[in-house]
Amino acid sequence: MNLRDVIARDAIFFDAPFDGATTKTTALDAFAPQVAQADFVCLGEMNHFVHEKSVFRLFFANWLIAEGWTSFAEELGWSDGVRVSRYLASGDERAFAQLPSFNYLGHLRKDRDDRPAGILKVPDYPVAAFVSEQSRFYRGIRAVGAQRLYGIDIDGAPGGGYEDIRAWLAPFAAKDRVARFLDALEQVPGESAYDEAQRLRRLSAAVIATDVGAGIARDVQFALDALADSFAYIRLAYSAQTYDAVRPAMALRENIMKRHFANAEVLNGGTRMILMGHALHLARHGDPVGSTGVGPGGGQVSSLGAHLAQERGLKSFSVWMLYGAGEDAQPFANLPTRADYPADSLNAVLASFQRPLLLPLRDPAFDTPMKIGHMYNMTVSIAPRAQTDAIFFLPTVTPIRA
């Protein structure tokens, strides 16, 4: 039996066009036993800049929330997560205009430019479209009962944590220890990103715990850690002129995500979470980026997914979203936006069915390494079943939209 025959036998096919908000989720009931045994669920997309990423996420989120999974962790800045969780609790959509990762500028320093200046510089990032896509998804999950979301990535435009901390401590600002803490929190004019990270690491919320309560002190400490981590990352990454020079920053970032996921577990009180991000961050084995580009961990440390699976021994249920054709809105002018995957890729084989499908990876055929296409027409050679439990496939995708 060839690979196409295996797919034809095992896949669940859907009608096109596929709508994640309204398509019935009964096909996912077959995964209920695996999900029940999982410590966390992974929803991994191969491209951040396609509209259908949100379609995929919402389809699975609708079912998972109905199954009792109401907490999310996302490849998103820590301060963004604080603000999205506030929206999930209150329904106040003003939070969407105050996400530091999506062009909210009120938190930025005036005496230092903390934007990318090297190879990661992007003059025309599709901010409005990204905010719209994220907002649609957050509205969708709130409507069906999502309760919390944690951002476990670095803050790409760091500083939002200062606002979060001050808001938490404002009711206690008259207390001496809290006032001294807030004074020490103040940014020092002219300090470098390195000096700022070091200053923040020296601050400990433990000194104010008796005044503000253990819960708020913990929130403050995690926000301090996230701020320091983000400034440490941008110091390494934003001046890099080549992809090789970015590798140490990518390794630091991946390790930061591991720590932030652990902090999110603490805040979530042991309740299981749905982890969302680029599929290669969620790979269960190593840093499967291949010989080109700089993937999760920069080729120097294991991916977040491998850390959770191999180093911590946690069990996940994982689904990756693949596609065969279409366009994205990735902003790098020297990289492609139209999908063009080789004929021997898994994407091309799945595309031959010309229908949306969900493929459980039960057959040993998927233990063999095969090419999988993702952003910028890059491919990785991996054994799919070692990395994920199922593949959700769409024949074509479109750019993120406002």
DSSP 160-220: HHHHHHHHHHGGGTTSHHHHHHHHHHSPPTT--HHHHHHHHHH--GGGGHHHH-HHHHHHH
Strand positions, DSSP E, 190-303: 273-278
Is the previous residue joined to 17 through a cis bond, with omega within 30 degrees of 0? yes
Closest CA to 121 of 246, 280, 230: 246
Q: How confident is the model at residue 122 (pLDDT cuts 50, 70, 90)?
A: confident
Buried b (16+ CB within 10 A) or exposed e, 294-313: bbbbbbebbbbbbbbbeeee
Q: How high does pLDDT run on average in the chain?
A: 93
pLDDT given for residue 291 in this prediction: 42
Contact call for residues 11 and 357 (beta carbons, < 8 A): yes
Contact call for residues 268 and 70 (beta carbons, < 8 A): no
Residue 317 to residue 302: CA distance in whole angstroms? 19
Write the pLDDT tens digit of every residue in 282-294. Answer: 999 865 554 445 6
Q: Is the pLDDT of residue 307 over 60?
A: yes
CA distance readout (Å), 120 to 50, 58, 85, 296, 332 = 20, 29, 29, 15, 9
Closest CA to 197 of 162, 157, 228, 220: 228
Q: How far apart are the first and last CA of the chain?
A: 44
Burial of 111 (0-12, 13-18, 19+ CB in 10 A): exposed
Mean pLDDT in residue range 205-233 = 97
Highest mean predicted confidence (pLDDT) among 297-301, 349-353, 374-378: 349-353
Output 373 or 157, whichever has higher pLDDT.
373
Write the pLDDT tens digit of every residue in 256-281. Answer: 999 999 999 999 998 999 999 999 99
Tokens representing 346 are 């898994």
Range scoring the smallest mean pLDDT among 63-72, 104-113, 321-330: 104-113
Residue 121 to residue 107: CA distance in whole angstroms? 20
Backbone φ, ψ for residue 377 (5° rounding) = 65, 20
Residue 359 to residue 389: CA distance in whole angstroms? 9
Q: Is the pLDDT of residue 297 over 90?
A: no
pLDDT given for residue 284 in this prediction: 93
Residue 396: its H or E element: strand 390-397
pLDDT given for residue 294 in this prediction: 64
Residue 321 to residue 51: CA distance in whole angstroms? 12
Name the pTM for this structure.
0.95
Write the pLDDT tens digit of every residue in 328-374. Answer: 999 988 899 999 999 999 999 999 999 999 999 999 999 999 999 99
C-alpha triplet 187, 190, 196: angle, nearest 5°? 50
Mean pLDDT in residue range 209-214 = 98
Output 69 or 105, whichever has higher pLDDT.
69
Residue identified by tokens 């934003």 is 238
Mean pLDDT in residue range 117-137 = 88
- Count other Cβ atoms within 10 Å, centred on residue 260: 24
Q: Is the pLDDT of residue 305 over 60?
A: yes
Judged by phi (left if over 0) then psi (alpha if -120 to 50, else beta), residue 240 lies in beta
Q: Is the dihedral of CA 303, 223, 40, 89 positive or negative?
A: negative
Residue 152 to residue 81: CA distance in whole angstroms? 8
The distance from CA 253 to its chain's CA centroid, rounded to whole angstroms, is 12
Output 121 or 58, whichever has higher pLDDT.
58
Kind of pairing, strands 316-326 and 390-397? parallel
Beta bridge partners of 382: 370
Amino acid at 348: A
Share of the chain above pLDDT 90, in %: 81
Range scoring the smallest mean pLDDT among 117-126, 167-176, 186-195: 117-126
